[in-house]
Each structure stands twice: as C-alpha cells, then as structure tokens.
Structure 1
Amino acid sequence: MTALFDVILPVFLVVGFGYVACWRRMLSEVAVDGIMRFAQTFAVPVLLFNAIAHLDLGTNYNPLLLLAFYAGAFLSFALGMGLALRWLKRPVEDAIAIGFVCLFSNSLLLGVPITERAYGPDALVGNFTIISIHSPLLYTFGITAMEFARARGHDLSLGRVALRALSGVLHTPMVIGILCGFVMNLLIQAGLVMPEGFWGAVRMMSSAALPAALFGLGGILYRYRPEGEARAIALCCAGSLLLHPAVTFGLSKLFGLGVAEIRSAVVTAAMAPGVNAYLFASIYGVAKRVSASAVLVATALSILTIWFWLSILP
C-alpha cells in the first residue's frame, strides 16, 4: 500500500487536479492548450536537453536495456495491429494507429515522476537512456508505416516516404531537445564549460516541466470521454499495460540486467499510452475515437498495474 499512496497517488493527483479544473470550468480549453504548449514545446525539451547533456554515454547506453524495452514495445505494436486487422476487421491505416497506441508508452510524463518517487533521482539514468531514442525511434517507425500504407497504389519511392518520416520527426520539439542534449554532451566531453548561470536557468525550466505537463495532461484527458469501441480499447490497454511490461520484465531477467536497469525498463514499459498516441491518430485522421478513449481508460487503469509492478520489482 505504501507504493500506492506515496509513489503513485501524488502523480495522479496532479493529473486529477487538471482534470477537475477543466471539469468544473475553472480553466478553458484554450488555457489548457497553452499550458500543454508551454510544457511540450519549451519546458519538457529543456528537461530532456538537461538530462541527455549529463548522461554518461559510455556506460549508460546498455544495448540489452534498450532491447528489453523496445522488443516489448514492438511486440505490442504487432499484436495491436494484427488483431485490429484480423479480429476487429479495421482498415490498415486504423490498425496502424491502434498498434501505435500499444507501442507508445507515456515514458516521460508518467514514467519519470513515478520512477523518481519510487527509487529516487539517481534511478532515472535508465529512464533517460530509453527516452533519448523513444520519440525519434517510435515516431519514425509510426510515420513510415503510415506513409507506406497510404502510398499503396501510388508511385512513391522508398526515399520519399523515408524523407517524409524523417522531416516529421525532426520538427518535433522533444526530439530537438534530445538532439541538442547529445550535442551539448559531446561538447562537454570535449572540454566545454558552460557558466553556472546557464545551467541554473536550465534547471529552473526543467523543474517546471513535469508539474505543468501532468496538470495539463489532466485537462487534455477531460476531453477524451470513452465512447464505444470497447474491444479496440481493451486491445490497446492489454498491449500497453500487460504485454509490454511483461515482455520487458522477462527479457530483463533473461539478459541479466542490473536492478536499477530492470526498474527503469519495466516501470517505463508499464506506463499507459501517452497523449502523443492520440495526436498521431489525429494527424492522419484515423482511429481517433479509439486512440483518445484508450489513452484515458489506460491512464486510469495504470494506477493498478503500476502498483502491481512496483510490488514485484526488486
């Protein structure tokens, strides 16, 4: 019970605060959009920049950690897309969007604060190792899959499809923050010393990122009332909340990862789909209702599934 009340509940109370504020009309949709725009376009990229800039790239990038996490993620995608095609009889574009919901866990807004509250700030190294390639890898994969699906019957070359995917990913603020963090990391390794005032400002922006994003997330979730499509929503929840962390946990044990790496990988894998999963569906205008409802339902259910994984992790 300690994990539920001391680790999970504070994070979801902030999300719930944003939800109630919108429900009771204390904030307009425009205000919530402004909060999320500040968080996702400015504060969160600065947080990622700061984290990546100070990562020890030589020792923290364990390929087995990344394999354990992303094998579970892509297996969840395959399950979601395959069952959406065969079981739910959805068009291929819808199936890709549903698979993307299973694929894209909320690694940053939920994974980081829960890991930090459970195990302390020093436990976040594995989280940021995963996050450093999370959006670039998964967005590139998702956009490429969708562009190929839409290119059927059209004379589009592999190069043009790949260029569209790469262009879309490189214009994402969080990806820009990650890439700038890698550049700063290399410059620091080369001997660059930035003034303390610079890092002080970075830390101030970073400290605002998660509270603002969690509060805004609650407001965004208020808009996504679950509607119909129960089987598709259940499929998304099963892939993201059950299959992904289970596969990651099993592979982490098989690979002999350290305790800290297992914690980071499994906790991150156990997170509900992020709002970006809905945004992906919205960009292409497919499976929007399923994606929005799955994000809301899975976020609520994840209170219990996260509690379960925290109780069995070493």
Structure 2
Amino acid sequence: MTILIDVILPVFLIIGFGYLVTWRKMLDESAIDGVMRFAQNFAVPVLLFANIARLDLSGNFNALMWLAFYTGAFLSYFTGWFVARRYLGRSPEDAVAIGFCCLFSNSLLLGIPIMERAYGAEAIAGNLAIISIHSPLLYTFGITMMEFTRARELNLSLGRVVSRALRGVLRTPLVIGIFCGLVMNLLLSLGLVLPAGFWAAADMMAGAALPTALFGLGGVLYRYRPEGDGKAIALCCACSLVLHPVLTFTLGKLFALPTGAIRSAVITASMAPGVNAYLFASMYGRAKRVAASTVLISTALSIFTIWFWIAVLP
C-alpha cells in the first residue's frame, strides 16, 4: 500500500487534477491543447535534450536491456495486429493502428516520474537509454508499416514509402530533442564546455515538462470516452499492460540483466500506451475510437499493473 500512496498516487493525482479541471470547464479544450503543445513540442524535448546530453551513454548502454524491452514491444505489436486482422476482422490499416496501441508505451510521461519516485533520480538512466531510441524506432516502424499497407492500394514505390516514413519521424519534436541531445553528448565528450547559465535555463524548462505533461494528459483523457469496440480495446490493454511487461521480464531474467536494467525495462514496458497511440491513429484516421478508449482505460488500469511490478521487482 505504501508503494501505491507514495509512488503511484502523486503521478495520477496530477493527471486527475487535469481531468477534473477540464471536466468542470475551468479550462476549455483549446487551453488544454495549448498546455499539451507546450509540453510535447517544447518542454519535454528540452527535458530529453538536457538528460541525454549529460547521460553517460557508455555506462548506461545495455544491448540486452534494449533487446528484452523491444522484443517484447514488437511481439506485442504483431500479436495485436494478427488478432485484429484474423479474429476481429478489422481492415489492414485498422490492424496496424491497433498494433501500434499494443506497441507504444508511455515511456516518458508516466515511465520517468514513476521510476523516479519508486527508485530515485539516479535510477532513470536506464529509462533514458530506452527512450533515446523509443520514439525514433517505434514511430519509424509504425509509419513504415502503415505506409506499406497503404502502398498496396495507392501503388506507391518503395522509395516513396521510405521517404514518407522518414519525413514523418524526423519532424517529431521528441525525436528532434533526442537527436540534439545525442549530438550535444558527443560534443561534450570531445571537450565542449557550455556556461552554467545554459544548463540552468535548460533545467528550468525541463522542470516544467513532467507536471505540465501529466496535467495536460488528464485534460486530454477527458475527451476519450469509451465507445464500442470492446474486444479491440481489451486486446490493446492486454498486450500493452500484460504481454509486453511479462515478455520483457522473462527475457530480462533469461539474459541475467542487472537489477537496475531489468527495473527500467519492465517498468517502462508496463506503462499504458499514452496519447501517442491516439495521435498515430488520428494521423491516418484509422481505429481512432479504439485508440482513444484504450488510452483512457489502460491508463486507469495501469495503476494496478504498475503497483504489481514495483512490488515484484527487487
């Protein structure tokens, strides 16, 4: 119970506050959209930049941790995609969007604050290592799968599909923040010294990222009322909240990962899909109701699955 009250509850209270404020019309939808745009397009990219720029990549790089996490993620995607296509009778494009819901963990807005509160600020190094390729890799994969699926109907060439996928990924602010952080990390390792004021400004901006994003997430979740598609929603929740962390935990034990690495991988894998799953579905106009309802329901259910994994992990 201490884990629930001290670690998980504060994060979800901020989300709940954003939900309450939106529900009671204290802020309208355009204001909430502005909060989320600030968080996702500016504050969170700066947070990623500042942390990755100063991260000891050689000390926190663990290929087996990446393998455990991303094998679980891709197996969750293909499970969701296959069941949606074969047993639920969804269209090929819908199946890709549903698979993306099973694939994309809310590694940043939920994973980082939960990990930090549970194990301390130094414990998020493994999470940042996962996040450093999370958006670029999974967005590239998801966009490529969707573009290849659509290419069959539009008769697009392979080069056109790859070009569209890369443009979509490289324009994402989170990816830009990650890439800039990696470049800065390299420059710092080569001897570049920046004034303390630069890092103070970056840290001030980064400090606003998580509470703002969590508050905005609560406001956005208010719009996502569960509507129909019960089997598809249950499929996405099961893959993202159960299958992915179980696979990651099993592989982590098989690979004999260090305690810190297995914590970071499993906690990140146990996160709900997050708003990005809905944004992906909305981008293509496919399975939007499934994605929206999954974001809301899985975020609520993740209170209990996160509680379970924090209790299980050493």
In structure 2, give the amino acid aligned to 1:17.
F
Hey, what's the Cα distance between the residues in 2 that align with 1:237 and 1:123?
Answer: 27
Residues 69-218 of structure 1 aligned to structure 2 (within 5 Å) = 69-218=69-218
How much has 1:281 moved relative to structure 2? 0.3
Partner of 2:221: 221
- Measured after TM superposition, the shift of residue 154 of structure 1 is 3.6
Matches within 5 A, 1:8-19: 8-19=8-19
Q: Tell me how far 1:153 sits from its aligned partner.
A: 4.0
Bigger CA drift: 55-64 or 304-313? 55-64
Residue 228 (structure 2) pairs with residue 234 (structure 1): no
Which residue number in structure 1 is paired with residue 32 of structure 2? 32
Q: Secondary structure at the match of 1:26?
A: coil
Once the two structures are TM-superposed, the CA of residue 155 in structure 1 deviates from its matched residue by 3.2
SS of residue matched to 2:106: coil
Question: Which letter maps to 2:193?
Answer: V
Q: Which residue of 2 aligns with 1:53?
A: 53
Structure 1 counterpart SS, 2:208 = helix
Between the aligned partners of 2:253 and 2:56, the Cα distance in structure 1 is 24
DSSP-derived class of the 1:152 partner? helix
Aligned AA (1:56): D
Deviations 1:89-115 (A, max 9, x none): 000100000000000010000000000
Deviates more, 1:111-120 or 1:57-66: 57-66
Shift of 1:27: 0.7
How far apart are residue 59 of structure 1 and its match?
2.2
* Matched AA of 1:147: E
* Separation (CA, whole Å) in 2 of partners of 1:235 and 1:16: 25
Which letter maps to 2:50?
N
TM-score by length of 2: 0.99
> How many residue pairs get matched?
314
Secondary structure at the counterpart of residue 279 of structure 2: helix
**Partner SS, residue 152 of structure 2:** coil
Tell me the distance in 2 between the aligned counterparts of 1:267 and 1:10: 17
Q: Distance in 2 between matches of 1:264 and 1:154?
A: 41
Equivalent residue number for residue 306 of structure 1: 306
**2:287 is equivalent to residue 287 of structure 1:** yes
Amino-acid identity (%) = 70
Matched residues in 1 for 2:92 and 2:51: separation? 37
> 2:149 and 2:217 mapped to 1: Cα distance?
30
Tell me the distance in 2 between the aligned counterparts of 1:312 and 1:153: 47
Mapped to 1, the partners of 2:191 and 2:149 lie a distance apart of 47
Aligned alpha-carbon RMSD (Å): 0.6
Name segments (4+ residues, structure 1) moved above 6 Å: none
Structure 1 gaps of 5+ residues are none
1:296 shift after superposition: 0.3
- Deviation at 1:216? 0.1
**TM-score under structure 1 length normalisation:** 0.99
Q: 1:59 and 1:203 mapped to 2: Cα distance?
A: 22
Match of 2:297 in 1: 297
Structure 2 portions without partners, runs of 5+: none
Distance in 1, Cα, partners of 2:98 & 2:167: 23
Q: Distance in 2 between matches of 1:171 and 1:89?
A: 33
Alpha-carbon displacement from aligned partner over 1:233-288 (angstroms, at most 9, x marks no partner)? 00000000000000000111111111111111000000000101000000000100
Distance 1:270 1:2 in 2: 19
Tell me by how many angstroms 1:123 deviates: 0.0
Once the two structures are TM-superposed, the CA of residue 56 in structure 1 deviates from its matched residue by 1.4
Q: Which amino acid aligns with 1:215?
A: F
Partner Cα separation in structure 2 for residue 146 and residue 155 of structure 1: 14
Measure, in 2, the Cα distance between the counterparts of 1:260 and 1:62.
Answer: 11
SS in 2 for 1:25: coil
Compute the displacement of 1:57 (Å): 1.8
Offset of residue 163 of structure 1: 1.0
CA distance in 2, matches of 1:254, 1:7: 28
